[in-house]
Structure 1
């Protein structure tokens, strides 16, 4: 937890959300390894002569300093920690999806060293993808693996290596029903849960979603797991991706 009236100097960070505050300032949500998600007031950043103008942007590695008390501190310094990650096109939307997950699911002031590393890795892999259809599989893999790490970080890790109840090792060839309140059990048509093959669970554990079936099943499973934590309020970034995809499909079909 951030101490009362604390001062933090040059902490690695990413900006995950920003909104206007008064005439010249902004309220920031930033993600850091040692302090997790924190809220900052950035004073006097608007206008042509605003401090840190152009620096406080999503997907740019930063070094931030702040001081404050309670749940909202004051930004005192900001420096770049490398070049901005060159996300473009659809990958920008995917980056905003990751940011929205962090904003919605993380509590403030909880350290997340491993999750910060997973987030940084996912952004860099997304930024490196070529703007081609062949990159879709790698994109899906990076999103799914980050979702797994996020669920682990907030205390809802997915059981990937054994059956619930029996503890039997997951078999690649078997079909399972993944129950949100317990984990994977042998598939029975009358059972509630998400239908998933053992090879998909093993692929998630190994970090290699190499085939379309595994990617599809992993997406369904993780979406259900995340929905249980997000509640009924939809993700804005997910809806934006749907709208963009519809526009692209219409353009491709001449509609």
Structure 2
């Protein structure tokens, strides 16, 4: 659990109004894991904490209290906010939603915290959103003990070959493709790119997205992800129909209507 009155590096995963003047936050903290906290009076006029307590803003925090929900006692910026825009911003919301749905409370995950911070920075710097999201999904599964083997065929232990076609089944893993095989079909090249952390080629991105949705589905449950709904609202096929070249509302650049997450 968080140590009282000691500063630690943290990010806000989610925030909502609480009472008349406070905020209820979901925090991811280094050495702390995920936990809820109240920022008392943060919404009062001229209160600087409200502007700092936003997603993607590195923070130094201290907390107090012994219950499940802690109280923030100190809030300081730990650097400038990570500048996510457009699809990258929605990608950041998706990472936050995965952590909220999959991480238990008060379970320190320091390697995952460091990887999350790095993933946000890469989303801000790199146009290859889908490769970054797939890398984070696989790392999150590994850290939670749900890792999958994608470079080996489950039924006979054969190595995956780049020029072969395979399927993935939740109960078994990677299997040789056949007419009777269930699950998504994908190339060996896609499986190897995911295993090696390589940049996904244009033809591999959809395969990788479908695969990771299949792997994550039993852990996420049936409740829809809000980040996907938001992506469809901003960039969905209906909006594309209204404007043949749909543009990112934050950058005015053309965007692909297909969800990256």
Q: TM-score, normalised by structure 1?
A: 0.89
Q: Deviation of residue 79 (structure 1)?
A: 1.1
Aligned in 2, Cα 1:81/1:70: closer, same or farther, shift over 3 Å?
A: same
**Within 5 A, what are the aligned runs for 1:17-166?**
17-50=14-47, 52-129=49-126, 135=127, 138-166=128-156
Aligned length: 245
Q: Deviation of residue 77 (structure 1)?
A: 0.7
SS at match of 2:7: strand
Aligned in 2, Cα 1:209/1:216: closer, same or farther, shift over 3 Å?
A: farther
Q: TM-score, normalised by structure 2?
A: 0.87
CA distance in 2, matches of 1:37, 1:184: 32
CA distance in 2, matches of 1:198, 1:235: 29
User: For structure 1, which runs of at least 5 residues remain unmatched after alignment?
Assistant: 130-134
CA distance in 1, matches of 2:124, 2:6: 28
Q: Deviation of residue 154 (structure 1)?
A: 1.9
CA distance in 1, matches of 2:48, 2:34: 22
Aligned in 2, Cα 1:163/1:254: closer, same or farther, shift over 3 Å?
A: closer
CA distance in 2, matches of 1:94, 1:85: 13
Q: Deviation of residue 169 (structure 1)?
A: 1.8
Partner of 1:252: 243
Partner of 1:132: none
Indicate whether 1:219 and 2:209 are aligned: yes
The 4+ residue runs of structure 1 with deviation greater than 4 A are: none
Cα RMSD after superposing both structures: 1.9
User: For structure 2, which runs of at least 5 residues remain unmatched after alignment?
Assistant: 247-261
Q: Deviation of residue 8 (structure 1)?
A: 5.2
